[in-house]
Amino acid sequence: MKATRKSFGEALAQLGEKYSNVVCFDADLSKSTMSALFAKKYPTRFFEMGIQEANMIGTAAGISFTGKIPFICSFAAFLTGRFDQIRMSIGYAQANVKLIGTHCGVAIGEDGHSQMGLEDIALMRSIPGMVVLQPADDKETHECIEWAIKHIGPVYIRLTRQEVKPFNLDSFKPGIFQKVVDGEKVAFLSTGGMLEEVATAATILKSKGVMSPAVYNMSTVKPLDSKFMGELAKKFDEFVVFEDHTTMGGSGSAIAEWISESAQTPRRVKRYGVRDQFGESGTPQELLEKHGLVAQRIVDNLSNK
């Protein structure tokens, strides 16, 4: 079990030796984002910007045009809170910057809404050319970081504070969802901190004879692979998306948009997440239960539909 924020720090420190043009910026949170691991190993390639995310974004965009590959790190809520700077300095310029947003969702717990990344996917996927990823576990985080280094253009990667179970899935491929659990008719889509709960719920639902859902790891939110999505739409009658994020504009919205506009046959899409409300302080378990994002709540909701 390991938080994907820690996996990121370890991956960047490891890959920094292979890719000497990688640099890292942080906004006074390096011990929390785990970029401190890179800073310790490569102190001359690490830049502590203080609590100045807007300046960090602009500086990283500028240095990217010198051939460096900057990773900029902060809590997802703070980083995407500087949306205007990201939109213009990185998005509009198509700067080769990699954005790392940690502490996503209500699962951060007692720190409360001000530090919960609950709208970050909706914001980042609205920027033209921005790739949006959320790895499932330690292995996939390492793969996503190296893929981002090789990819030319902006990438946003969403990471957990809570530890997540290792799934040891097939190698990461952008836009392709790896199958976690076999099933039929209904496909559950999720990733990151939610994937274990969703896989557990699917097992319980099968044992109760309610349904036999497949589970897929949706580690790419944008772009979706049209060929792969077309195959899923032919195979399943219904998609249920679970995410520790607002249901407005998140991963579920991305699936619903694709299905409604591109699928040859209409399919139902159901979204579970935080519904049109602010986060609050509480234990991670209390908050996930409140929003129906734990296995038993998922089972209860789908058993009674």
Among 221, 224, 235, 227, which residue's Cα sits nearest to residue 267? 235
d(CA 203, CA 198): 9
Among 177, 109, 139, which residue's Cα sits nearest to residue 2? 139
Q: One-letter amino acid identity for 3?
A: A
**What's the angle, vertex CA 98, arms to CA 199 and CA 74, rounded to 5?**
75
Q: One-letter amino acid identity for 97?
A: V
Residues 6+ apart with CB under 8 A from 87: 127
Is beta strand 22-26 parallel, antiparallel or unpaired with respect to 69-75? parallel
Q: Running DSSP on this structure, what letter comes out for residue 172? A: P
As given in the structure block, the two tokens for residue 299 are: 């089972």
Is residue 53 part of the annotated active site? The answer reads: yes
The active-site residue, picked from 10, 48, 53, 286, is: 53
The H or E element spanning position 25 is: strand 22-26
Q: How many CB atoms lie within 10 A of CB 227?
A: 9
CB 193 within 8 A of CB 164: yes
What number of residues does the chain have? 305
CB 49 within 8 A of CB 26: yes
What residues act catalytically?
53
